[in-house]
């Protein structure tokens, strides 16, 4: 070996980890010797054949249980004093962070039994070192939001991936827009992928518009990533009804909270089933109209509601007035039958005769009827004869004759009939004729007739008839 090789070898031994022996000289040049647990260390191994013959020199490592080791090439063939190179790549499998490890290399020439050892030292960085060295780098897969119905739940799923070996702790993720404000925190291990889901609360009355959700990622109060997600809030007309029903006798009361659950002005509607007969028995504190829906009639109440507003409608179906009317009618009918006179008297005329256009004779009929199932006795009928007429002296066979006819200075002539009894539901007719003392033109009024009878208790009752008005017209011969 000449002086130049000696000086070179001494210099190499002073600068690098070297293993010198009789067979080979090995030097390890670090390329990357500080890594994370996810990275790969690399070294360039220099080998000098110190033997006098050409040798195939093999290099391998026994540390394959905790490391993934690749040597390229695994062996070199060198002439005497020739230098060869092998690339060592090592990736940890099971190691602890913050420690230095020595990777053992075994080197042996093919014609020698002498195995030499060398060590490549690698340091595994601690997580604190990694966090200081690496800025957060994320890969995002963002959803296409499109149209948003504010009355329905909006679920956003964001896929994120940590692209380096930094362990991200307490990362803040925020969603902000004109109507949305959501945030969450999450951790992200080195190279981890994760899906973050937001249940976004969009106000149901948010106005229709085009908007953007600003998505931001922050760490230690510093925003390091921001994205914009465009979306559109669509117009929605929607109402909600909250009904409470109270029922009592012939009455049902519906208290309905009508709310505008959409984001545009609507006409809140509540339908009460009806039919024509009970339409006016349904009462409410809002405007209404008769509506035919799918062949059925409804009394439809309607109110105008702006987004987010509500109205309390009280709609009552009340059949009690019908019952009250029926009961009142029954009471009236009962009172009528209880208080009405058991005997009735009615006056009419017939057989009117005229002479030279004036009244000369007429027949007066007084009808008396018992409209009960009781018998009444000692019945008296009184009738006043108009002054310009006189009562006939002759009476038809079968008619009741007056028992007394008297003249009164002021009241005129009064005729009296006495009827011994009137059986149940029996009807009698008192008939007489009137004659005029002078020509009667224009008209004649027959006064009321009076019927007197006694109840079983002995009380006297009096019933009067109707008046009869006659109109006399004179017709001239042409």
Assess whether pLDDT exceeds 70 at residue 123. yes
Assess whether pLDDT exceeds 50 at residue 170. yes
Q: Per residue in 309-367, pLDDT tens?
A: 999 999 999 989 989 999 999 999 998 888 888 999 999 998 777 776 667 788 899 99
Q: What is the pLDDT of residue 175?
A: 93
Instruction: Specify the pairing of strand 55-60 against strand 34-35.
Output: unpaired
pTM for this prediction: 0.52
Tell me the domains of the chain and their CATH numbers.
Answer: 3-125 (2.60.40.10), 138-233 (2.60.40.10), 239-320 (2.60.40), 343-472 (2.60.40.740)
Q: DSSP states of 68-132 as a string?
A: EEEEESSEEEE-TT-EEEEEEEEEESS--TT-EEEEEEEEEETT---EEEEEEEEEEPPHHHHHH
- Mean pLDDT computed over every residue of the chain: 86
Task: Tell me the C-alpha distance between 24 and 12, whole Å.
Answer: 14
Q: In 244-375, where does DSSP find H-type helix?
A: 320-339
Q: What is the mean pLDDT of residues 282-289?
A: 92
Task: Tell me the C-alpha distance between 223 and 133, whole Å.
Answer: 18
Who contacts 246 (Cβ-Cβ below 8 Å, separation ≥6)?
A: 252, 253, 255
| Confidence class for position 437, pLDDT limits 50, 70, 90 | low
Q: What is the pLDDT of residue 205?
A: 84
Q: Which residue has the higher pLDDT, 267 or 409?
A: 267
Assess whether pLDDT exceeds 50 at residue 428. yes
Contact yes or no for 263/207 (Cβ under 8 A): yes
Q: Indicate the Cα dihedral angle 181, 185, 189, 191, nearest 10°.
A: 0
């Amino acid at each position: 070996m000449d002086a130049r090789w000696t000086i070179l070898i001494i210099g190499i031994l002073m600068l690098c980890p070297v293993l010198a022996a009789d067979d080979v000289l090995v030097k390890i040049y670090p390329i990357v010797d500080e890594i994370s647990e996810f990275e790969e260390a690399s070294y360039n191994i220099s080998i000098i054949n110190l033997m006098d013959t050409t040798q195939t020199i093999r290099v391998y490592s026994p540390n394959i249980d905790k490391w993934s080791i690749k040597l390229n090439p695994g062996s070199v063939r060198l002439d005497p004093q020739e230098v060869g190179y092998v690339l060592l790549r090592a990736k940890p499998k099971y190691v602890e962070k913050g420690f230095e490890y020595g990777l053992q290399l075994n080197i042996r020439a093919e014609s020698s039994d002498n195995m030499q050892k060398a060590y490549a030292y690698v340091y595994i960085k601690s997580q604190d070192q990694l966090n200081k060295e690496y800025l957060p780098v994320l890969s995002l897969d963002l959803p296409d939001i499109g149209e948003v119905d504010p009355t329905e739940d909006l679920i956003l799923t964001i896929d994120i991936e940590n692209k380096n070996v930094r362990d991200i702790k307490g990362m803040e993720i925020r969603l902000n827009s004109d109507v949305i404000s959501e945030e969450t925190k999450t951790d992200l291990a080195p190279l981890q992928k994760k899906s973050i889901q937001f249940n976004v609360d969009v106000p149901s009355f948010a106005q229709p518009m085009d908007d953007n959700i600003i998505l931001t990622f922050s760490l230690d109060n510093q925003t390091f990533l921001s994205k914009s997600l465009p979306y559109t809030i669509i117009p929605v007309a929607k109402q909600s009804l909250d009904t409470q029903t109270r029922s009592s006798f012939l009455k049902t009361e519906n208290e309905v909270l009508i709310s505008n659950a959409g984001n545009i002005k609507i006409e809140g509607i509540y339908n009460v089933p009806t039919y024509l007969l009970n339409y006016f028995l349904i009462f409410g504190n809002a405007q209404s109209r008769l509506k035919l829906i799918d062949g059925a009639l409804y009394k439809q109440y309607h109110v105008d509601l702006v987004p987010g507003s509500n109205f309390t409608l009280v709609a009552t179906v009340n059949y009690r007035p019908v019952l009250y009317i029926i009961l009142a009618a029954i009471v009236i009918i009962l009172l009528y039958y209880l208080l009405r006179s058991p005997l009735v008297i009615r006056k009419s005329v017939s057989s009117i005769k005229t002479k030279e256009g004036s009244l000369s004779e007429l027949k007066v009929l007084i009808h008396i009827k018992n409209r009960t199932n009781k018998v009444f006795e000692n019945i008296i009928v009184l009738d006043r004869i108009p002054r310009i007429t006189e009562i006939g002296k002759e009476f038809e066979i079968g008619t009741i004759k007056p028992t007394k006819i008297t003249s009164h200075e002021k009241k005129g002539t009064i005729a009296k009939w006495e009827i011994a009894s009137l059986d149940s539901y029996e009807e009698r007719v008192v008939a007489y004729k009137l004659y005029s003392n002078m020509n009667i033109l224009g008209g004649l009024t027959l006064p009321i007739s009076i019927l007197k009878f006694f109840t079983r208790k002995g009380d006297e009752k009096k019933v009067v008839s109707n008046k009869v008005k006659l109109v006399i017209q004179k017709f001239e011969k042409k």
